[in-house]
Amino acid sequence: MIANLGLRYLTMAGYVCTIAGGKGGVGKTTTAVNVGAALQEAGHDVVVVDADLGMANLGSMLGIEHRASLHEILAGDAAVSDALTDAPGGLTIIPGEQSLEAFADADPAKLRKVIKTLRNAYDVVLIDTGAGLSHEVAVPLGLADGILLVTTPDDVAVGDTVKTAQLADRIDGDVVGVVVNRVTRHTDIAEISERLGFELLAVIPDDQEATAVEPLVLNAPDSRAASAFDQLSESMAAMFFRGERAADLETVLEETWFVDETDDDEEEEDESGGVFGLFS
């Protein structure tokens, strides 16, 4: 990995995508891990950076131990190469720390240099951000080539994501699209999409059967959620490497993800204005 850092300085820089959302627990890290793993499996060199400086959880989600963290880099106590950590499927991550001391010592302004180094070493740099409208959230938004907004159908989550989009606009960030996580057959996706005002890239089903260890695309590839993340990664690759816009891509959505074959009333409920009415 260290050799890779130097070699890519001679080639085209990679794409930096910040994955953001206003509320915690909406699936930003899950999205980053699964999209990153799927892109890596497709042959792209990907690194995921845990830039949630207050509540870092990328390493623990993947069950990975690390030598150094992003917090140590931002505190001036480690080099970028020290924190590069191998993850499942050949993915590379830079994990963070969870202690208050590490948070206090980390300087978000130094993230710019970190991302500059990584974008010259990898095809794709995915930045997993924290929640809220703080300075440490604004910095990754400003460093991105494109910002992917992630929310759940929860009304508060959608409202906070709108605020994140407004923050991105104030710093001239480019929101490339929206992902809605934990969608059920009764979710009014059309209303959520209209409220957010950006292209809907993917609808990820609330998959109770996807209980495997993350990333799902590797450990539960037959699950509905994994299928959605796989398709989302294909859309993201089209944007990263071919310059396509979200408006040119089909929304990742399969109605079969939301059909309960044991429900005798499914036909009646499909007409209730929920997800099935989105493209009618």
Q: With H, G, I as helix, E, B as strand and everything else as coil, classify residue 9.
A: helix
Total of domains in the chain: 1
State the pLDDT confidence band at 274, using cuts at 50, 70 and 90.
Answer: low
Burial 95-104 (b: 16+ CB within 10 A, else e): bbbbeeebbe
Q: Among residues of the chain, what percentage have pLDDT more than 70?
A: 88
Q: Which residues contact 142 (CB under 8 A, 6 or more apart)?
A: 171, 172, 173
CATH number of 187's domain: 3.40.50.300
Domain of 54 in residue numbering reads as 2-257+265-277
Q: In whole angstroms, give the CA distance from residue 261 to residue 157.
A: 30
Q: For the segment 161-195, what is each residue's pLDDT rounded down to a tens digit?
A: 999 999 999 999 999 999 999 999 999 999 999 99
For residues 124 and 92, is the Cβ–Cβ distance under 8 A?
A: no
pLDDT band at 277 (very low <50, low <70, confident <90, very high): low
Q: Which of 56, 12, 66 is nearest to 32 (CA)?
A: 56
Q: How do residues 203-239 score in pLDDT, each as one tens digit? A: 999 998 777 889 999 999 999 999 999 999 999 999 9
Predicted confidence at residue 51, as pLDDT, reads: 94
